[in-house]
A and B are shown apart, each in its own frame.
Chain A
Amino acid sequence: MTLYALSKLMFDLNRDDAVKGQFAQDREAIVARYALTEEERGAVLKPDIGLLYVLGVNGQLLMHYAGLLGIEWSDYLQRMRDGVKMHGPVRAGIYALTSSPDEKVAG
């Protein structure tokens, strides 16, 4: 169930300006509100976009989280490829990689 909590954090961040503001001030305090595993918590705080992708965060949430952090589009795509190389295949959800992590499809 923790992927749900991790996803909920991304959802709240994406749509709630107050949460967004608090997150900018004190990232750890916001993250503590969600029942995350250590791996998930670390991935959010680092932030490790590649690991968040491998953990199964829906791309429509992760894309906006990366945007919030100011990560440029091509860099975002590369971080996910790197994540798969480092942490292995996507573990859950409907956003699994279908190309090779060494392939650049577009962007």
Chain B
Amino acid sequence: MSLVFAGVCSHAPGITGRADRAPKDLRDDFYAGYERMRLALEASRPDALIVIAAEHFANFFMNNMPSFAIGMSDGYEGPIEDVDWLGIPKRQVKGDAALSQRLIKEVMQTVDLAYCEEWKFDHGIMVPLHFLDPDTKLTIIPANINCQGPPLAPLHRAWAFGEAIRRAADSVPERIAVVGTGGISHWPATPDSGRINEEWDRDFLDRWARNDRAAMLAYTDAETYADAGQGGFEIRTFLAVAAAARGKGHVEFYAPIPIYAVGCTAATMDIA
């Protein structure tokens, strides 16, 4: 039918794996932001949820790295990480290969992408699903933008990927939701873990919420690396969602939570 929901959220593994090490009130407020997002997602009655992720070598590696990929299977599994380390139990996730194939064909009109009949979910998808689909009810279609192994696709190509996903969602009879996961500024998995550039994050979220394409595409990767860390490269997923949704964004929650190693974010965007 069309795109019925759009949003973005953080996916850092500390959000669940180190849940109890953050101040309780802050954590609860953040989790409540996810919950508001979940309720909005549920109210949109999606037939399938496309998760635009920035995975971390669970499936893709530098031997053969796609800039863009979409899953095409009737089922997926995750998390790939140790369940105690991540704090999320293993689960089987329902996919829809036939729907994936129809979406992929339309995306391919403008974006060359890899399709994947196997896909193991890492924290990049599992942390969002833990909050947005706690009962494992949704049909999930994973999508990926390479944000880990440079060279990375330029931002305007991530934007084009989002536009293609919108066109594809509008071309099928099913109700499609999309959630981008990643960022914003962070220096994950390094001794700098916990460094967060709140000012940069808030400026980015302002550009995103205004859906200001030019302002979002203005970053260079060198600037992003310096100001927002290697984790900042994941703004590509937020850009793709903005390109797909075309509307104004609403930040449900933003706060730096250093022990989670990220500026924790949950936001929705109007479909226009």
Contacts and interface: CB of A to CB of B under 8 A. Distances in A.
Interface of A: 4, 7-8, 10-11, 14-15, 53, 58-64, 67-68, 73, 77-78, 80-81, 84, 94-99, 101, 105-107
Contacts of A67: 81-82, 85
Contact of A105 (B149, B189, B258): B258
B192 A11 contact: no
Interface of B: 14, 17-18, 21, 56-59, 61-63, 80-82, 85, 120, 148-150, 187-195, 225, 229-230, 258-259, 261
A8 B61 contact: yes
Given A105-B193, A107-B194, A94 B85 contact: no
Contacts of B21: 107
Contacts of B229: 98
A14 B80 contact: yes
B194 A105 contact: yes
B189 A60 contact: yes
Q: Which of B56, B61, B190, B261 has the most CB of A within 10 A?
A: B190
Given A7-B62, A99-B195, A59 B189 contact: yes
B224 to A, nearest CB: 11
Given A4-B62, A8-B63, A106-B259, A59 B190 contact: yes
Nearest to A68: B82
Contacts, number: 86
Contact of A106 (B17, B81, B85, B258): B258
A4 B17 CA distance: 28
A36 to B, nearest CB: 16
Nearest to A58: B148
Contacts of B61: 7-8, 11
A79 B184 CA distance: 26
Nearest to A17: B80
A89 B18 CA distance: 28
Contacts of B58: 14-15
A35 B230 CA distance: 27
Nearest to B152: A94
Given A60-B148, A94-B230, A106-B259, 9 more contacts: A15-B80, A58-B57, A58-B148, A60-B189, A73-B18, A94-B150, A95-B190, A97-B191, A105-B195
A4 B63 CA distance: 9
Contacts of B85: 67
A33 B215 CA distance: 47
Contacts of A15: 57-59, 80, 120
B148 A98 contact: no
A49 to B, nearest CB: 11
Nearest to A95: B190
Contacts of A61: 57
A61 B148 CA distance: 11
